[in-house]
Amino acid sequence: NFGSLLGICLVTQIVTGLLLAMHYTADTSLAFTSVAHTCRNVQFGWLIRNLHANGASFFFICIYFHIGRGFYYGSYLNKETWNIGVILLLTLMATAFVGYVLP
């Protein structure tokens, strides 16, 4: 069930994102240094960062399979549920973009 995998991915992204945010500096001149510090000096920082980066890709893979299954089984006929799913997809894309362009 891809819905359950999406829930697990969401929780993983939130937890790893919060852990990374504890060590991140949002200044453009210090951002790279803070990421390097997290990967090199924080215990398991490299693992948390890789889980967060690869977890985002896995999240999108799961959501596209979930949408594809919805198309196959005709879930789009239930308009309210489908529209909420589309809004969630657009919100997820916007959030991923904002996370990608952090300084």
Percentage of the chain modeled with pLDDT above 90: 89
CB 102 within 8 A of CB 31: yes
- Between CA 48 and CA 41 the distance in angstroms is 12
pLDDT > 70 in the chain, percent: 99
Q: What's this model's pTM, rounded to 2 decimal places?
A: 0.86
Band of residue 39 on the pLDDT scale cut at 50, 70, 90 = very high
Residues 6+ apart with CB under 8 A from 9: 55, 58, 59, 62
Q: What is the mean pLDDT of the chain?
A: 94
Q: Is the pLDDT of residue 15 over 90?
A: yes
Q: Which domain holds residue 73?
A: 2-100
Provide Rg for the chain, Cα atoms: 16
pLDDT band at 3 (very low <50, low <70, confident <90, very high): confident
CATH number of domain containing 7: 1.20.810.10
DSSP secondary structure, 39-73, as one string: HHHSTTHHHHHHHHHHHHHHHHHHHHHHHHHHHHH
Number of domains into which the chain is organized: 1
